[in-house]
Amino acid sequence: MINKTKLALGIATATLTLAGALVSPQAAAGKKADACCENSKIDALEAQMQQMQAELNSLRAAAHPVDAQKVQELDEWMAKSKKEKPHHDNTLFFRGGYAHANDTRGGTLDPTENALLGGSNRNGQLVGPITDKDAWYMGAGFDFALTDNVWGAMENTQVLGELMFDYKELGTRKSNGLSPAAVGANGPLTLNTHDATVSQFTLAASPKIKFLKDKPFRPWLIPVGFEINVVSPPSDAITVLSPGMQFGLGADYRVWKDIFVGADARYHLTTGSTDGVRTDCVTAGGYLGIGF
């Protein structure tokens, strides 16, 4: 029984050995064929990649000078933008100076004392118009940027909308605005004990053309603007409003960042009088501006 088992095991072992010997060369040959196929594919891909790399290098070499210049310009622009903060185009300004009227103010009687008591004013007359012509003024305003290049017509030339107001004071007169008839109607004891400040308030809106944008020195002009004046004391007809126009020119200088100092001169025209009140005048002075 044992000998038969050993004989069977021996035959099985010999069979397996012979099968392995027969299979091994075929497997090795197949693996070798597969390896050769893979190597050929890899060689082809490597050749294609080398060809593409050569073409890419040639394109880079041809475009390198132009691209390098563009990259350098872009880097310089970015560095400049980060380093320099852009200036603001809108401005808040405060102004003041001297004003001179073309004619006497007129339009308001000036009884400096009681007419029925025989008093007289400083000119030896019972009544008379306001004759002050010199004044001082102070005010403020805003410049609002509308375009940086006159809507494409002029480079580095701004058009701004100016909204401005100012107060002018011509003087102080001892007058309550009563005419001789009013004094007579109120009795002989009607005395003028109150001072009247001869003043004017102006509100104006104008287009402003400013040259040399982003330069330290910037001249400007106002071709024409609209203004409305409020006068005090009122006219004999109790009129307080006097519309008109203004023309101006000036310049400012940037002293530090968005801080400006400047000077301007303006002519204010009302084309006549309003119920006897004349407000035509010239103003000249300086201003301080703050960009925002």
DSSP assignment of 43-105, as one string? HHHHHHHHHHHHHHHHHHHHHHHHHHHHHHHHHHHHHHHHHSPPPPS-EEEEEEEEEEESS--
pLDDT band at residue 87, thresholds of 50, 70 and 90? low
Query: What's residue 13's pLDDT?
Result: 55
Please report the pLDDT score of residue 118 as a whole number. 45
Model pLDDT for residues 277-286, shown as the tens digit of each residue: 889 999 999 9
Each residue of 231-274: pLDDT tens digit?
988 887 888 999 999 999 999 999 998 999 999 999 999 988 88
From the centroid of its chain, how far is CA 91?
A: 7
SS (H, E, C) 194-228: CEEEEEEEEEEEEEEEEECCCCCEEEEEEEEEEEE
**Mean pLDDT: which of 80-94, 171-185, 206-220 is highest?**
206-220
Asked if 103 contacts 129 with a C-beta cutoff of 8 angstroms, the reply is no
Residue 202 has φ and ψ, to the nearest 5°, of -125, 130
Per-residue pLDDT, averaged over 192-196, amounts to: 62
**pTM reported for the whole predicted model:** 0.64
Q: Report the distance separating Cα 260 and Cα 291, nearest Å.
A: 8
Is pLDDT of 57 > 90? no
Among 55-69, 125-139, 234-248, which stretch is predicted with the lowest mean pLDDT?
55-69
pLDDT of residue 108: 66
CA dist 280 → 97, 198, 202, 204, 268 (Å): 16, 15, 12, 14, 5
What pLDDT sits at residue 173? 66
Q: Is pLDDT at 170 greater than 60 in this prediction?
A: yes
Average pLDDT over the chain, rounded to an integer: 77
